[in-house]
């Protein structure tokens, strides 16, 4: 048996700035996800915890601490007094990073349902630590990732709808996502990082995605026509605007 990674990575060169992902079948006969990194490769299980570990016999540490919370409530009648230690918060943060690495890989593979699943899971852990954590460094670090995870969740849902050619549903996902991000940024102290909330990189990414959706819509789609009408008016092309109004009224 050889432990030299070069035999595994032969023909799969690392490309700086690019996330390279592939699927393989492991020795157990099950599918694995591999992501190329600078000095080697990351390998993930496609379901449950990415590293395949079952802490305390549970699917993940989050599930374990959620079980502890339910047991606490059963004993005490409420969650008052339930707390996560600094070590628990640290471990939950590290676990969330595993899911982050995997959902980026799934995004590259365009498996958007799994991106949605893993981002929803990480939003759950952010909420959990925010409610019960000790307000230490790890709690703050997790909370600072909230808007990014929300953005990735929105992108996953929108691209899933686009794959089914439901462009109007995709557009609703993005517009709702932008409003949710604005609300979250307004509530957090991170709003001070931007002169204008709409300058936040997560919002700019979603605005770019919104334009991508418009561009892929059929020319006769009502939402596309409304956007084209706004553009025509902004450019003072009133003849074109009148034509678009006629198209909208005839639908």
Distance of CA 106 to the CA centre of its chain: 10
Residue 246 pLDDT exceeds 60 = no
Q: Say which residue, 9 or 62, is predicted with more confidence.
A: 62
d(CA 175, CA 197) in angstroms, rounded, equals 15
Other C-beta atoms lying within 10 Å of the C-beta of residue 16: 5
User: What mean pLDDT, rounded, does the chain reach?
Assistant: 88
d(CA 66, CA 88) in angstroms, rounded, equals 12
Q: What is the pLDDT of residues 59-92, one digit of tens each?
A: 999 999 999 999 999 999 999 999 999 999 999 9
Q: What is the pLDDT of residues 169-202, one digit of tens each?
A: 999 999 999 999 999 998 876 656 666 788 899 9
Q: Which residues of 184-193 are buried (b: 16+ CB within 10 A; e: fewer)?
A: bbeeeebeee
Q: What is the pLDDT of residues 110-158, one digit of tens each?
A: 999 999 999 999 999 999 999 999 777 888 889 999 999 999 999 999 9
| Domain range summary for the chain, segments of one domain joined by + | 219-251
User: CB pairs under 8 A, 24+ apart, for 81-87?
Assistant: 82/132, 83/132, 83/133, 83/134, 84/128, 84/129, 84/132, 84/133, 84/134, 85/134, 86/134, 86/136, 86/138
**Listed residue (100, 115, 105) closest to 163, CA to CA:** 115
pLDDT number for residue 46? 96
d(CA 133, CA 123) in angstroms, rounded, equals 15
Residue 1 pLDDT exceeds 60 = no
User: CB pairs under 8 A, 24+ apart, for 28-35?
Assistant: 33/102, 33/105, 33/106, 33/109, 35/101, 35/104, 35/105
């Amino acid at each position: 048996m050889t432990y030299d990674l070069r035999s595994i990575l032969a023909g799969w060169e690392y490309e700086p700035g690019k996330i390279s992902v592939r699927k393989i079948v492991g020795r157990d006969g099950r599918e694995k996800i591999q992501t190329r990194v600078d000095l080697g490769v990351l390998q993930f299980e496609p379901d449950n915890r990415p590293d395949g570990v079952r802490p305390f016999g549970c699917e993940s540490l989050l599930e374990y601490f959620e079980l502890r919370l339910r047991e606490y409530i059963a004993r005490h009648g409420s969650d008052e007094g339930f707390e996560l230690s600094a070590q628990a918060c640290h471990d939950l943060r590290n676990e969330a990073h595993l899911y982050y690495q995997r959902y980026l890989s799934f995004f590259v593979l365009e498996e958007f349902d799994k991106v949605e699943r893993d981002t929803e899971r990480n939003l759950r852990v952010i909420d959990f630590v925010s409610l019960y954590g000790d307000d230490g460094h790890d709690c703050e670090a997790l909370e600072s990732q909230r808007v990014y995870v929300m953005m990735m969740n929105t992108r996953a849902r929108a691209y899933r709808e686009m794959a089914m050619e439901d462009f109007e549903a995709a557009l609703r996902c993005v517009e709702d996502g932008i409003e949710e991000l604005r609300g979250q940024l307004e509530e957090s102290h991170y709003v001070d990082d931007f002169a204008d909330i709409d300058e936040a990189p997560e919002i700019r990414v979603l605005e770019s995605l919104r334009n991508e959706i418009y561009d892929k819509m059929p020319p006769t789609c009502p939402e596309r026509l409304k956007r084209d009408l706004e553009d025509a008016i902004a450019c003072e092309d009133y003849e074109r605007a009148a034509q678009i109004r006629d198209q909208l009224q005839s639908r």
